[in-house]
Amino acid sequence: MPSNVLFRIYRWKYFWLCLIVIITLAMHLSIITNPSELILDEQHYVKDARYILENEQTQRPEHPPLAKLFIVSGITAFGDNPWGWRIPSILMGTIEIALFYFICRRLNMSNRAANIATFLFGFENFNFLLASVAMLDVFFVTLMLAFFLLYLSREYVLSGIFIGLAALAKLYAALGTPPLLIHWVFSRTRPSRWFILTVILAPVSFIVLMPLFDFAITHEFQNPIMRIKEMLTLSSSLTFDNTTHPAISRPWEWILNYIPMAFWYTPHYTGAISPSVWGFIIPVVLYMIYKAVKGNDAGLFGFAWFFGTFLLWIPISIATDRVSFVFYFYPTIGALCIGLGLGLNQAMEWASSQTRKAKIPVMAGIVVFFLFHIASFIVLTPVFIRS
Q: Is the pLDDT of residue 387 over 60?
A: no
End-to-end CA distance of the chain: 46
% pLDDT > 90, the chain: 78
In this prediction, residue 173 carries a pLDDT of 93
Confidence of residue 35 (pLDDT cuts 50, 70, 90): confident
In this prediction, residue 3 carries a pLDDT of 65
Q: Is the pLDDT of residue 366 over 90?
A: yes
In sequence order, which ranges of the chain are alpha helices (DSSP H)? 2-11, 15-30, 42-55, 66-78, 82-106, 111-122, 125-130, 137-152, 156-169, 177-186, 195-218, 224-236, 251-256, 275-278, 281-293, 297-306, 313-320, 333-352, 356-380
Cβ burial 103-139 (10 Å sphere, 16+ → b, else e): bbbbbebbbebbbbbbbbbbbbbbbbbbbbbbbbbbb
Q: What is the pLDDT of residues 63-112, one digit of tens each?
A: 999 999 999 999 999 999 999 999 999 999 999 999 999 999 999 999 99
In this prediction, residue 261 carries a pLDDT of 75
Neighbouring CB atoms inside 10 A of 368's CB total 10
Cβ burial 191-220 (10 Å sphere, 16+ → b, else e): eeeebebbbebbbebbeebbbebbebbeee
CA nearest 261: which of 328, 215, 205, 200? 328
In this prediction, residue 5 carries a pLDDT of 66
Q: Is the pLDDT of residue 283 over 90?
A: yes
In this prediction, residue 357 carries a pLDDT of 82
Task: Return d(Cα 137, Cα 170) in angstroms, integer.
Answer: 7
Mean pLDDT of 13-32: 94
Q: How far is CA 232 from the centre of its chain?
A: 22
Task: Return d(Cα 172, Cα 331) in angstroms, integer.
Answer: 9
Confidence of residue 136 (pLDDT cuts 50, 70, 90): very high
Mean pLDDT of 284-308: 96
Mean pLDDT of 332-350: 96
Average pLDDT, whole number, for the chain? 92
Mean pLDDT of 215-222: 93
In this prediction, residue 2 carries a pLDDT of 64
In this prediction, residue 276 carries a pLDDT of 95
Q: What is the pLDDT of residues 160-191, one digit of tens each?
A: 999 999 999 999 999 999 999 999 999 877 77
Mean pLDDT of 317-329: 92
Mean pLDDT of 351-376: 91
